[in-house]
Chain A
């Protein structure tokens, strides 16, 4: 089953199958100590740059900043939801620690 994934409205949100599923302005706790000096960056999402699927996991690359230390930038791929039988299943992004996957093209 094909799933359409895209970023729309100047990076305001992620569309999964033509429905708005992930929005900017969320606060995510990232497991990405390489992003800044904080053990678990407290990251506000300002712009969504890209979205992709790895198996059943939907991940996004986003621009934002750690509100604890002020570091801005783009962490690696952050999981934002999962696919179950072609349907998007949300994860509670503001309450769970999100494991960041660094890609080959990340610094």
Chain B
């Protein structure tokens, strides 16, 4: 039987949601009929609006899709202005203040505390510079990811940016593909370093070369069915298909149609294409695609470049592991990747980022899958002056490895699904580790990803140290805890982290990392990386090397942060919540 969500989607979905959304915005949040709220909040996701968690009713997270992470000149400034004016909540975050921009692991932007009543003005401002929230959430083509320096990189096999943009233009607002069984995550990359992270996407186009009619042709191999969520991580599987850049949109559309027709609409937990791939296998998938969805003969896969992949790989093979730092572009200019700790940047800093990008580069900003930002097109003669800017003191192109390697999801601050506080905690962890822990000699890349739950928005399974939200008891009291996984990474032979230690109280995690690194240093052979060390060590032995212990680190958020209306409010109890509120932020009372 179709789910409620499928029933709601069959009634109103896709582009047509917008007129209802704008009407509700005009009339106020409280005019949404009470018995239709679940349905409308589910539909609003399609237009990038996600109702915040319990205790924060009437406030929304807004996601802006920026294909391939590209913010063209002028767009960053508008994002900062929108955040400044509309993304301020009833309480302040102690680290980030009130009004900030989140750069996400899918090269998108998230704002919080958005009021429905402000949507028309926000849409107008965003759309005036070509930005959109369309399909940023919901069951359709999500923001397309790829190498964030596509079109500029010296390590490029093929420029994938035009392909990513063509896919975005073809499948955003396309009624044939607007109602899929579940979310549809696509990666397109043409670079040699694997920074599209195709392995963890539903559909991945990866650089390859194929001899066609006697000519070496550059294009993409296709992989299907990757994803990290729900304790069911999968790596995308090779379906033995090569496409030229000119064929990419047609074949991608055929695969999306295959998913539309064959995905499980009766069970949302089984709906992602990775489960269809489990059921069918790559060979059947290819056969059905060829026979029922494509009108020409598909080429078999070409020669790929996976042996060169370095991004987020945990291997020291000479390639880039991220985009932080100063790097020469193919045109002789430079791109400057700045480290944004856990991806969150205050509105004033975001405005400053826009100014600096405009003054020293082309004004363009690119967002990476490691929650960082890149200023592109900087002439060599401007590099010194750019590095003297105050902004780069805080968002460094040469950060400490613990700052550089940190990723965190949204967490219980706003998210319904998360079990623990994440962003602020990861900031506290990174700062403590930087002050108190020595990395073994030569270790410059060390990735720690903190995800609040098994949805895996911080991509924990592909980090050196994976942290995932959990609960435990300490001295009899329930406290927030983390599972600890080790040795995940992408590269030529990607693998997910081994979860070696479970339910470590959050205040003992920094001590566990410190001890683990000391044990690694003691046992390290030559210059091996942490991932290499984990790969050659038995799981049982690894568990013994993680020795949780209390240290000077203190965690102020040990309690159940989900039981608060906002963990950082002075009175954080649910009863103290001002939500739901009118458009002006005043509480909606029963008298209204």
A residues neighboring B (CB under 8 Å): 4, 6, 8-13, 15, 17-20, 23-27, 42, 44, 46-47, 49, 65, 67, 70, 94
Complex Cα gap A88–B178 (Å): 35
Kindly state whether residue B546 has any CB partner on chain A within 8 Å. Answer: no
Complex Cα gap A15–B34 (Å): 12
Count A-B pairs with CB separation below 8 Å.
Answer: 77
B12 to chain A, nearest CB (A): 16
Q: A11-B269, A18-B35 are in contact. Are A25 and B454 (CB under 8 A)?
A: no
Residues of chain A with a CB closer than 8 A to B455's CB = 10
| A11 contact from B417, B473, B562, Cβ within 8 A | B417
B residues neighboring A (CB under 8 Å): 4-5, 34-38, 42, 53-54, 229-230, 268-269, 412, 415-420, 453-455, 469-473, 478, 481, 502-503, 560, 562
Q: What are 27 A-B pairs with beta-carbon distances under 8 A?
A: A6-B38, A8-B38, A9-B417, A10-B229, A10-B268, A12-B53, A12-B416, A12-B417, A13-B54, A13-B416, A18-B34, A19-B34, A19-B37, A20-B54, A20-B416, A23-B53, A24-B416, A24-B419, A24-B453, A25-B453, A26-B560, A26-B562, A27-B560, A44-B470, A46-B419, A47-B454, A67-B471
Residues of chain A with a CB closer than 8 A to B472's CB = 67
| B418 contact from A25, A26, A27, A94, Cβ within 8 A | A25
Asked whether, in the complex, the Cβ of A70 is within 8 Å of the Cβ of B37, the reply is no
Residues of chain A with a CB closer than 8 A to B478's CB = 27, 94
Closest 6 CB pairs of A and B: A12-B416, A25-B419, A12-B417, A44-B471, A18-B37, A25-B562
Asked whether, in the complex, the Cβ of A25 is within 8 Å of the Cβ of B412, the reply is yes
B561 to chain A, nearest CB (A): 9
Residues of chain B with a CB closer than 8 A to A24's CB = 416-417, 419, 453, 562
Interface centre among B269, B473, B560 (most CB of A within 10 A): B269
| A70 contact from B54, B415, B454, B502, Cβ within 8 A | B502
A104 to chain B, nearest CB (A): 19
Complex Cα gap A11–B268 (Å): 9
Asked whether, in the complex, the Cβ of B453 is within 8 Å of the Cβ of A8, the reply is no
Complex Cα gap A19–B418 (Å): 19
B485 to chain A, nearest CB (A): 14
B48 to chain A, nearest CB (A): 15
Q: A18-B38, A67-B503, A70-B503 are in contact. Are A42 and B419 (CB under 8 A)?
A: no
A100 to chain B, nearest CB (A): 19
Asked whether, in the complex, the Cβ of B473 is within 8 Å of the Cβ of A15, the reply is no
Residues of chain B with a CB closer than 8 A to A19's CB = 34, 37
A16 to chain B, nearest CB (A): 10
Complex Cα gap A70–B470 (Å): 11
| A17 contact from B35, B420, B471, B560, Cβ within 8 A | B35
Q: A6-B38, A9-B416, A20-B54 are in contact. Are A25 and B269 (CB under 8 A)?
A: no
Asked whether, in the complex, the Cβ of A49 is within 8 Å of the Cβ of B419, the reply is no
Q: A46-B419, A46-B454, A70-B503 are in contact. Are A25 and B54 (CB under 8 A)?
A: no
Q: A9-B417, A13-B54 are in contact. Are A23 and B35 (CB under 8 A)?
A: no
Complex Cα gap A67–B454 (Å): 16
Complex Cα gap A18–B42 (Å): 11
Residues of chain B with a CB closer than 8 A to A12's CB = 53, 415-417
Residues of chain A with a CB closer than 8 A to B415's CB = 12
A13 to chain B, nearest CB (A): 6
| B36 contact from A18, A27, A65, Cβ within 8 A | A18
Residues of chain B with a CB closer than 8 A to A49's CB = 269
| B38 contact from A15, A70, A94, Cβ within 8 A | A15
The residue on A at minimum CB distance from B3 is A6
Residues of chain A with a CB closer than 8 A to B38's CB = 4, 6, 8, 15, 18
The residue on A at minimum CB distance from B35 is A18
Asked whether, in the complex, the Cβ of B560 is within 8 Å of the Cβ of A25, the reply is yes
Complex Cα gap A80–B42 (Å): 23
Complex Cα gap A75–B102 (Å): 37
Asked whether, in the complex, the Cβ of A23 is within 8 Å of the Cβ of B502, the reply is no
A11 to chain B, nearest CB (A): 7
A20-B54, A26-B560, A67-B481 are known contacts; what are 10 more A-B pairs with Cβ within 8 Å?
A: A6-B38, A12-B53, A18-B38, A23-B53, A23-B562, A24-B453, A42-B473, A44-B471, A65-B470, A67-B503
Residues of chain A with a CB closer than 8 A to B268's CB = 10
Residues of chain B with a CB closer than 8 A to A20's CB = 54, 416
Complex Cα gap A15–B51 (Å): 13
